[in-house]
Amino acid sequence: MKVHILLGPPGSGKGTQAKRLVEKFNLNHLSTGDILRDAVSKETEIGRMAKAIMASGKLVDDDTVNGLVFARLQQGFEGDVLFDGYPRTLQQAKALGEFLSTQMIGLGNVVNIAVPDGVLEARVVGRRVCSNNDCGAIYHVESKPPKQDGICDLCGSPLKHRSDDTAEAFRSRMADFNASFQPLLGFYEHQPHYRSVDGNLAPEQVFESLVQLFPESA
């Protein structure tokens, strides 16, 4: 068993690429959300702690997240594991490194899907969504415009620009994200397992570059 890590900013398509890698290489897909729900439903000790933290309205702290992840890894896996959304902070990355070496678990690929902030911003700001909740079709003013301006191709409802999709909202989210992400990236960048792929390409091409990195170790 080896542990692989997929990193990337929100909007990089990381979640979709993770799913495809998991299918292609038969990996175990691990997200902290899934581990958390599992531990809470099984009422493990750390699951009960996490539940109490969430019930008090707080974010689950690094030590608790690490504890949940390590407990899950200790149960073992058949085949390799792909982390998606973990580690999220420098503290988590350091603790994971120590855990893996004490458990003699190998670190496989650490891959970052790199997309410039400006490109992410253009993706977000140009997004238009169908106002009909039953439809929910997503468009982009440049890369995927509707046939008729402002109207959904599928159901004819007006398209809307969500308040989360403004440049201001995007920049504020990115500033929060980068405050944790840049130190995390700095930690991995100088390690031999680290690779970066160009995320400013079509999803199919991004997937191809990811596939090139995996066969050896998966």
Instruction: Respond yes or no: is residue 20 known to be catalytic.
Output: no
Q: With beta carbons less than 8 A apart as the criterion, state whether 81 and 2 touch.
A: yes
Among 68, 130, 185, 218, binds Zn ion (CB under 5 A): 130
Asked if residue 137 binds Zn ion (CB under 5 A), the reply is yes
Burial (CB < 10 A; 0-12, 13-18, 19+), residue 137, is middle
Please identify, among the stretches 72-80, 99-107, 145-153, 181-189, the one whose residues bind Zn ion according to the rule CB under 5 A.
145-153
User: Among this protein's residues, is 72 annotated catalytic?
Assistant: no
> Which one of 57-65, 97-105, 144-152, 162-170 is the stretch in contact with Zn ion (CB under 5 A)?
144-152
Residue type, 201: L
Q: Which of 20, 94, 173, 195 is catalytic?
A: 173
CB of 99: closest distance to Zn ion in angstroms? 46
Q: Name which of 137 and 211 has its Cβ closer to Zn ion.
A: 137
Enumerate the H helices of 56-164 as residue ranges.
62-74, 90-102, 117-125
Interface with Zn ion includes 135 (CB under 5 A)?
A: yes
Number of residues lying near Zn ion (CB under 5 A)? 8
Candidates 52, 138, 154, 167; binder of Zn ion (CB under 5 A) is 154
Q: How far is the CB of 164 from Zn ion (least distance, A)?
A: 19
Question: What is the β-pairing status of strands 2-7 and 127-130?
Answer: unpaired
Residue pair 96/87 in contact by the 8 Å Cβ criterion: yes
Establish if 159 lies at the interface with Zn ion (CB under 5 A). Answer: no
Our answer to whether residue 88 is catalytic in this structure is: yes
**How far is Cα of residue 47 from the mean position of the Cα atoms in its chain?**
22
Spell out where the chain has E strands: 2-7, 28-30, 81-84, 106-114, 127-130, 138-140, 159-160, 194-198
Write out the residues near Zn ion by the rule CB under 5 A: 130, 132, 135, 137, 152, 154-155, 157
Show which residues are catalytic.
Answer: 14, 88, 127, 162, 173
